[in-house]
Amino acid sequence: MARIGFVGLGIMGHAMALNLVDAGFDVVVWNRTASKADDLVAAGAASAHSPADLASRCEIAMMCVSDTPDVEAAVFGRDGIADGLRPGGLVIDHSTISPDATRRFAERIVDLGGHWLDAPISGGSEGAANGTLSIMIGGETTQVERAMPYLRTIGTTITHVGPTGAGQLVKAVNQILVVGNQLAVSEALLLAEAGGLDLKTTIGAIEGGAAGSWMLSNRGPQMIERDWRPGFTIDLQQKDLRLVLEAADGLGVPIPGTSLIFQLYRGLQERGLGSEGNHALVKALENLSGIELSADG
């Protein structure tokens, strides 16, 4: 089995890397804030002193960092992955970034004798921890097959959706559904609250029917408890929505609903709530109605 590297040990990357270590793979890790690697090293991972060092020691470098410029820095910056890339080395980018930039990054890696897969993920921090992520992959079939043993450890729905960049575009599609659903859950629970319903009972009554959703079942109870800890932060959600709006604009597709949600999140960012979970969207609506969700219904 090939040795694999993992760059970017944030909420998602740390959990994914831990699942790879726990599955018995030979894993090398690197994170900008070095302390986030400590428990992985204790669990059996080796640590690299830079992304270049990591790439020089691994056939496959997986990566999960924040945004397009961060992927560029980790791959093409000083001591980046490109500096240590082995002949035939494969870079798998799990970050959610621009499809256009992805195609440019992939070309540069191919020019250096390597390969690239865009493999963004969905499923939240729970999906990353449980190894049940959805992974949407763009790139060549032979490289997807090469990556499959590792991807199967971190995800359950793994789909090769097309050529380079297609994974990122499917992720944009995914994000339209995520935020639309989040808005619907927020409006629904506020109506229940205003009508004096018990919110837990309400969720229990409907989540098994046609209105059920991951967002309702996982984030609904958190919203009722006013637990705003992030599975996915508002700031990262906005990063994704900018990518979605840019892609839709480029393709000439009006997405008014998603644009509206972007503006609601923008207001929450201005109120200093960017590091809260994306389910705090309900706070924008609470502000309009003067009603707050509460656990006692």
Size of the site for ligand NA7 (CB under 6 A): 21
Q: Which of 33, 141, 254, 288 binds ligand NA7 (CB under 6 A)?
A: 33
Decide: 48 and 28 in contact? Cβ < 8 Å.
Answer: yes
Q: What is the rounded distance in angstroms from the CA atom of residue 258 to the CA atom of residue 244?
A: 9
Q: Tell me which DSSP letter residue 36 carries.
A: G
Binding segment for ligand NA7 (CB under 6 A), chosen from 70-78, 100-108, 147-155, 280-288, is: 70-78
Give the contacts of 260 (CB within 8 A, at least 6 positions apart): none
> Judged by CB under 6 A, which of 4, 5, 6, 10 binds ligand NA7?
10
What region, left, alpha or beta, does residue 166 occupy, with left being phi > 0 and alpha being psi -120 to 50 degrees?
Answer: alpha
Distance CA 57, CA 66 (A): 24
Examine residue 243 and tell whether it contacts ligand NA7 (CB under 6 A).
no
Q: Which residues does 20 contact at the CB level (< 8 Å), separation at least 6?
A: 4, 6, 27, 150, 153, 154
Indicate which single residue of 19, 31, 98, 168 sits in contact with ligand NA7 (rule: CB under 6 A).
31
Among 66, 174, 269, 287, binds ligand NA7 (CB under 6 A): 66
Is 171 noted as a catalytic residue in this protein? yes
Binding mask 213-242 for ligand NA7 (x = CB under 6 A): -------------------x---x---x--
Q: Which two tokens stand for residue 283?
A: 């706070």
Query: What is the nearest approach in angstroms of ligand NA7 to the Cβ of residue 276?
Result: 13
**154 vs 236 by CB, closer to ligand NA7:** 236
176 binding ligand NA7? (CB under 6 A): no
Q: Does 11 bind ligand NA7 (CB under 6 A)?
A: yes
**Would you mind telling me the total number of residues written for the chain in this entry?**
297
Token readout for 88 is 């035939």
CB 271 within 8 A of CB 295: no
Residues designated catalytic: 171
Residue ranges in contact with ligand NA7 by CB under 6 A: 8-13, 31-33, 36, 64-66, 70, 73-74, 95-96, 232, 236, 240
